[in-house]
Amino acid sequence: MSAVPAAPAEPTTAEQIRSVLARAVSLSLVSDGHRFDLAGQHTVDARGQVRLHLPADSALPALTACAPRGSLAVLLEFTDIAPVALRDRVRARVTLSGWLARSRAIGRPGLPRSAAAVLRLDMARATLETATEITAAGLDELVLAEVDPLAVEEAALLTHLAGSHRDVVTELTRLVDPRVTEDATRTMPVALDRYGLTLRYEYQRGHVDARLVFPKPLREAAHVGNGVQQLLAAARGCRHLHRSSPRP
């Protein structure tokens, strides 16, 4: 009888990239010495296709039209920022390289009606940079990867947990190695996905992130409360069970 594979403890690189693209607002673009701040001006479709929806005064459509064959080589950088107040709020950066080209407009609620041009990114490479490593995802992997079901609602869920349930955060520290929790000046929830919750322990100098894995992956945001309750039950029932980064 074959062994049942263990459930994943965290998203794949491709899944993390797709989730950052879905929720990130901070976006910058670099091309041929030009830099553009494009906060809130992108959409991503079900296959991971990125489009930029630009106002009439943007120079990007003209630069693209003047580029060889109407395709402008660019780097797009999306910054994933924690929604709660921390000393270091940047959780990850996603960098996409490829070529911009004109595209037909595809509407989405919340986009400005004044968008005068829509540019499509034909992606060549995608990388994810975190505090510990830089990893790449294949383009086929990105097409097949799913956005985490909590990605869009993560900010509201984390701010609610941090602001209204400090007692829960305190209890969850029982699941973390005491060598991590000692000397911490503050503990905050820093990330949440279908596989688990990450707590950040801040010290006078530096910080450590400790990941708490749900017994099974969540299917939707409505299941977060049940997942946290299962972690609380584990915290009350055993002394220490943890997954954490090494102390700096």
The pLDDT tens digits of the residues spanning 183-209 come to 999 999 999 999 999 999 999 999 999
Residues of the chain with CATH 3.20.180.10: 154-244
pLDDT band at 240; cut points 50, 70, 90: very low
Model pLDDT, residue 244: 43
Confidence label for 106 from pLDDT (cuts 50, 70 and 90): low
User: What is the signed CA dihedral for 145, 188, 39, 72, rounded to 10 degrees?
Assistant: -40
In this prediction, residue 238 has a pLDDT band, given cuts at 50, 70 and 90, of: low
So what's the pLDDT on residue 239?
A: 57
- pLDDT at residue number 12: 96
User: Does the pLDDT of residue 241 top 70, yes or no?
Assistant: no
Residues 6+ apart with CB under 8 A from 170: 187
Give the Cα separation of 37 and 52 in Å (integer). Answer: 12
CB 211 within 8 A of CB 226: no
What is the structure's pLDDT at 9?
83
Per-residue pLDDT band for 103 (boundaries 50, 70, 90) equals confident
Mean pLDDT over residues 101-118, rounded?
Answer: 66
C-alpha 41/C-alpha 27 separation (Å) is: 8
Confidence bin at 1 (pLDDT 50/70/90): very low
**pLDDT tens figures, 146-170:** 999 999 999 999 999 999 999 999 9
Flag whether pLDDT at 40 surpasses 70. Answer: yes
Distance separating alpha carbons of residues 149 and 220, to the nearest angstrom: 5
Q: Which residue has the tokens 């915290």?
A: 235
Q: Where in the chain is the domain with CATH 2.30.110.10?
A: 13-144
Higher pLDDT, 37 or 7: 37
Distance between alpha carbon 62 and the CA centroid of its chain, in Å? 31
Q: Which residues, 6+ apart, have CB-to-CB distance to 194 below 8 Å? A: 11, 148, 149, 150, 214, 217, 218, 219
Q: In this predicted structure, what is the pLDDT of residue 237?
A: 82
pLDDT of residue 32: 87
- Predicted confidence at residue 116, as pLDDT, reads 78
Tokens encoding 21: 């693209």
Q: Percent of the chain having pLDDT more than 90?
A: 77
Mean pLDDT over each residue of the chain, to the nearest integer: 89
- Report whether pLDDT(242) > 60: no
Q: Pick the more confident residue, 42 or 56.
A: 42
pTM: 0.87
Class of domain 154-244: alpha beta
CATH class of 13-144: mainly beta
Closest CA to 186 of 175, 173, 177: 173
